[in-house]
C-alpha cells in the first residue's frame, strides 16, 4: 500500500504525515489491519527496537475531585464506588512504589486527584519523591497533580522529579463537551510549564469518548506540536456512575488503528498504552506492542488491571523484552544533553527539548481512572458468558480494592 510505504519513510525521517494521511490510517479496513500494524511496527522498531518500558501508578490521593471531567470516576458528582482516601504518607507511597519496581517498572507515576496542587501539596509530593529516590536511586519519577502554578514545576524538579504528566485528552474543538471547570488552554499551559522547568513532559489522549476521526487526528497533531517525550494513549472505560457510562465505541481493531496513527505522527516518542488496554484490546494486546514501546504494569488509579505477571508473560511471548533500568528510553537525538531516561546524570532527566528541557498517568482525577479489569477477569473467567462482537464488555471493569489506600498487597 503506497500510503503505508510513505508513512514508514516519513517515520524514519521524523517527518510529519499530512493530516489526510493520518485520517487515512484510521479509515483503513479490517482486511488491511495487519499491514497497518506491520508498517507502524517498522517505525517503532527503528527508534525503540523490541524494548518495552514498564510504568507503575501510585494513586496518592483518591476521589473527591472538584473538577467535572466526564470520563473520570473521581470527578465532582461521581457515583462510582471507588476507593476514597486522602494523601498517602511518603513512606506509604514509597512502599507502594517498591512493588512496581520489584515487578520491573522503570518509572513510577505519582498521581493525585484535584484541580492542581497547593504549595503544601508540592511539599508533600516532594517528600514522597525523595523517599522513593532514597530506596530506588535509578527509578524515574513522574508527577501528575493537575494544573500547575508558577514555580511548582521547578520545585518538583529540584525534589528529584524526572517528568510531569498532564494529558490533553481530546481535541481543542470538543474539549468543552468533556470538561467545563477548566480549559484546553489550561492543560497546554501546564505542559509548557513542565518543559520550561526541565522536566520531561508526558501528555496524551483518551479515545472512545464519542469523538470523530478528525478529533483524534487533531489531538495527536497538537501533541506533536507540544513535543512531549511520552504520549500515553488511554482507551475510555465507561465507568458506572460517570456521565460517559454508556459510551462503548471501541473495538480491538479501532484501538490498533489509533495506536498506529499515533506512532506515525509521533515516530520517535515513547508511545504508551495506558488505561483500557485490557478492556478494549483484550486478546489483541500483544499486537499493540508492535506499535507502542511502553505500558503500565498492574493496576491503575481506581480500577484493576490484569496480573502483573501476565503482563510480563505477554511481553516475552510476543518476542519483546522489558527495558532495563540502565537503558535510555529515548532515541539519542532526544536524550542528548539530558542524561537520558534511566541514566539520571547531573542536569539530566528523561527528555530532550534542548535547553528548555507520561506517564501516562491521567489527570484531573485521571484519564485512566475507571479503566481496567480485575485479575482473572479479563475475558477468562470460566463462568463468563461468551463474548459477542460489538457488545459492551462491562464484565471486564472492576474497581481497584487493593494496593495504595488499602491493607491488601498491590498488583505488580
Q: Which domains does the chain have, with CATH numbers?
A: 2-325 (3.20.20.70)
What is the structure's pLDDT at 233? 98
Map grid coordinates 481512572 to a residue.
369
Q: Which of 72, 341, 350, 359 is catalytic?
A: 72
In 59-142, which ranges are continuous DSSP H helix? 90-102, 119-135
Q: Which of 65, 266, 341, 359 is catalytic?
A: 65
Q: What is the mean pLDDT of the chain?
A: 87
Q: Which of 44, 124, 142, 334 is catalytic?
A: 142
Q: Is the pLDDT of residue 350 over 50?
A: no
pLDDT band at 216 (very low <50, low <70, confident <90, very high): very high
Known catalytic residue at 69: yes
pLDDT digits (tens, 9 = 90+) for 117-137: 999 999 999 999 999 999 999
Q: Is the pLDDT of residue 199 over 80?
A: yes
Candidates 120, 92, 47, 70; CA nearest to 293 is: 47
Q: Which of 44, 107, 144, 202 is catalytic?
A: 202
How many helices (H) and strands (E) the chain has is answered by 13, 10
Residue 231 carries which DSSP code? E
Known catalytic residue at 155: no
What is the C-alpha to C-alpha distance for residues 292 and 179, in angstroms, rounded to an integer?
A: 28
Q: Is the pLDDT of residue 32 over 80?
A: yes
**More confident of the two residues 160 and 82:** 160
What is the C-alpha to C-alpha distance for residues 226 and 208, in angstroms, rounded to an integer?
A: 22
Q: Which of 44, 75, 107, 109 is catalytic?
A: 109
What is the structure's pLDDT at 386? 63
What is the C-alpha to C-alpha distance for residues 279 and 249, in angstroms, rounded to an integer?
A: 12
pLDDT digits (tens, 9 = 90+) for 43-56: 999 999 999 999 99
Q: Is the pLDDT of residue 282 over 90?
A: yes
Q: C-alpha angle with apex 217: 215 to 222, nearest 5 degrees?
A: 95
> What's the whole-model pTM score?
0.88
Known catalytic residue at 65: yes
Cell of 109: 507515576
pLDDT band at 345 (very low <50, low <70, confident <90, very high): very low
Q: Which of 157, 254, 257, 272 is catalytic?
A: 272
Q: Which of 69, 266, 341, 369 is catalytic?
A: 69
Known catalytic residue at 266: no
Known catalytic residue at 378: no
Residue 307 carries which DSSP code? -
Of the listed ranges 26-40, 182-196, 212-226, 369-383, the least confidently predicted one is: 369-383
Q: How far is CA 179 from CA 75, 81, 183, 209, in A?
A: 10, 21, 7, 12
Amino acid at each position: 500500500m503506497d500510503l503505508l510505504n510513505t508513512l514508514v519513510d516519513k517515520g524514519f525521517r521524523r517527518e510529519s504525515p499530512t493530516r489526510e494521511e493520518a485520517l487515512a490510517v484510521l479509515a483503513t479496513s479490517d482486511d488491511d489491519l495487519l499491514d497497518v500494524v506491520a508498517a507502524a511496527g517498522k517505525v517503532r522498531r527503528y527508534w525503540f527496537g523490541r524494548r518495552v518500558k514498564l510504568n507503575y501508578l501510585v494513586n496518592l490521593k483518591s476521589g473527591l475531585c472538584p473538577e467535572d471531567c466526564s470520563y473520570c470516576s473521581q470527578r465532582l458528582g461521581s457515583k462510582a464506588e471507588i476507593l476514597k482516601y486522602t494523601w498517602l504518607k511518603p513512606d506509604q507511597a514509597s512502599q507502594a512504589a517498591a512493588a512496581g519496581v520489584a515487578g520491573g517498572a522503570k518509572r513510577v507515576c505519582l498521581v493525585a486527584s484535584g484541580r492542581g496542587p497547593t504549595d503544601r501539596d508540592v511539599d508533600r509530593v516532594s517528600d514522597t519523591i525523595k523517599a522513593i529516590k532514597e530506596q530506588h536511586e535509578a527509578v524515574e519519577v513522574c508527577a501528575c497533580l493537575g494544573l500547575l502554578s508558577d514555580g511548582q514545576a521547578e520545585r518538583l524538579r529540584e525534589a528529584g522529579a524526572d517528568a510531569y504528566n498532564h494529558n490533553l485528552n481530546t481535541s481543542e474543538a470538543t474539549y468543552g463537551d468533556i470538561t467545563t471547570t477548566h480549559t484546553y488552554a489550561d492543560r497546554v499551559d501546564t505542559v509548557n510549564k513542565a518543559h520550561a522547568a526541565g522536566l520531561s513532559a508526558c501528555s496524551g489522549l483518551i479515545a472512545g469518548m464519542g469523538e470523530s476521526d478528525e478529533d483524534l487526528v487533531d489531538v495527536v497533531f497538537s501533541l506533536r506540536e507540544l513535543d512531549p517525550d511520552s504520549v500515553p494513549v488511554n482507551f475510555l472505560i465507561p465507568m458506572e456512575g460517570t456521565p460517559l457510562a454508556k459510551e462503548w465505541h471501541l473495538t480491538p481493531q479501532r484501538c490498533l488503528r489509533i495506536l498506529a496513527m499515533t506512532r506515525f505522527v509521533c515516530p520517535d516518542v515513547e508511545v504508551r498504552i495506558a488505561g483500557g488496554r485490557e478492556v478494549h484490546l483484550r486478546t489483541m494486546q500483544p499486537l499493540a506492542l508492535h506499535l507502542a514501546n511502553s505500558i503500565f504494569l498492574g493496576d491503575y488509579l481506581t480500577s484493576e488491571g490484569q496480573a502483573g505477571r501476565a503482563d510480563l508473560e505477554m511481553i516475552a511471548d510476543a518476542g519483546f523484552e522489558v527495558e532495563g533500568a540502565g537503558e535510555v528510553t529515548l532515541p539519542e537525538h532526544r536524550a542528548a544533553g539530558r542524561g537520558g531516561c534511566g541514566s539520571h546524570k547531573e542536569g539530566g532527566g528523561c527528555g530532550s527539548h534542548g535547553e528548555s528541557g507520561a506517564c501516562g498517568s491521567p489527570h484531573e482525577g485521571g484519564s485512566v481512572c475507571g479503566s481496567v479489569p480485575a485479575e482473572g477477569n479479563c475475558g477468562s473467567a470460566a463462568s463468563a458468558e461468551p463474548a459477542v462482537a460489538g457488545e459492551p464488555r462491562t464484565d471486564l471493569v472492576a474497581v481497584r480494592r487493593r494496593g495504595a489506600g488499602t491493607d491488601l498487597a498491590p498488583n505488580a
